[in-house]
Amino acid sequence: MDDSLSSTSLLRNAKRAAHKAMDDHGRRDYDEFALHAGVAVEKLAKAVLVAMNPIYIVEMRGSAEMLFHLGGHLTASKVRTIGASEAITRLRTLKILKVDTKLDLLIEVRNGVAHASGGVQAKGLLSTLAESVDTLLKRLDSSGPEFWERWYSAVLVAIDRHRSEIQRDVEIRIKQARHLFDDRFEGLPETAKEAVLKVHPRDVGFRSTMSPRAADRLLTFSSETPCPACGGLAHLMSTPIGTTGTHTELSAFWLRCRLCDLELDGADQIAASGADVEKAQVPTSIDLSWDVTPHTALEVGPTYMD
């Protein structure tokens, strides 16, 4: 039989595509993620079918040429096998895969039949990829750690239903950011990474300031805090949520690290990340005024992070 259609070869190609999908998801390129995730599921589904019997990936139309090709008695003029949707359908018939509308959507997005507007739908299909791969690997007696390698811990989070959706999303983002950070220093001395982590964001354009938005009089604090992914200093945006006669309480609403590209949007995501906003570097006191009609002056006492 053609070695490219062996279960081992299909498993190897599925692994390669799955890793590309995880890289794409980490870069927030969700269209590419759907493409590679769909390929991974297709290759893995075919690997399971071939392991059971090679003829299970033969199309049930046209000549019997491929049937003899897979049986090792004839070389087909053109190698043609079933597609992803049919492979999944056959595995469902064999009670190996369950009906899953999200898996169907993943294949449709990959094939261009369905369009994930802005990548939103595709982004949420990471757990679908992880669960499908987990089910199929068991049929091949292959282990998750061997298949996923460095992505295994992120995959475990994706399928952990004990965590909330926000917790899963944020923890996966952190793991992806760590891998991206490590990839940027691949082949370089460890001292290079250490040197970059010591660079203060102010040296590259970040400043601890408080800026007014004239339209709604909203004040935002730009500060720095340790990144929960790489440990460098991340850019943190906060806004006042309460004041007393002696201090102003701040709430962080946006975090981005220039080193590992981690980005968190909203107080819930920042809280789920475990970011130590208490260590954020903010001004201890501010006396700020800006020109409006009539003239308004604002005084803010000592600031505290929420």
In a domain, 169, yes or no: no
In a domain, 184, yes or no: no
**Which of 52-56, 62-66, 177-181, 266-270 is the least confident region?**
62-66
In a domain, 183, yes or no: no
Quick check: 288 pLDDT over 50?
no
What is the number of alpha carbons within 13 Å of residue 226 lying toward its C-beta?
Answer: 8
Stronger pLDDT, 198 or 63, i.e. the higher one: 198
In a domain, 186, yes or no: no
Quick check: 206 pLDDT over 70?
no
| pLDDT at position 239 | 81
Which of 258, 256, 255 lies closest to 268 in space, CA to CA?
255
* CATH number, residue 127: 1.20.120
d(C-alpha 80, C-alpha 62), whole Å: 11
**Beta pairing partners, 108:** none
Give 195's contacts (C-beta < 8 A, 6+ positions apart).
none
Q: 83 with 42: CB under 8 angstroms?
A: yes
Stronger pLDDT, 112 or 260, i.e. the higher one: 260
Instruction: State the pTM of this model.
Output: 0.75
Which residue range is the domain that position 100 belongs to? 3-162
For the chain, how many structural domains are there in total?
A: 2
Q: Are residues 140 and 268 in the same domain?
A: no
Quick check: 237 pLDDT over 50?
yes
- Please report, for residues 29, 57, 118, 147, the alpha-carbon distance to residue 165 in angstroms, rounded to integers and kept in the order given: 20, 36, 20, 25
Q: Are residues 114 and 213 in the same domain?
A: no
In tens, the pLDDT along 131-187 reads 999 999 999 999 999 999 999 999 999 999 888 889 999 999 999 999 999 999 988
- What is the greatest pairwise CA distance in the chain? 91
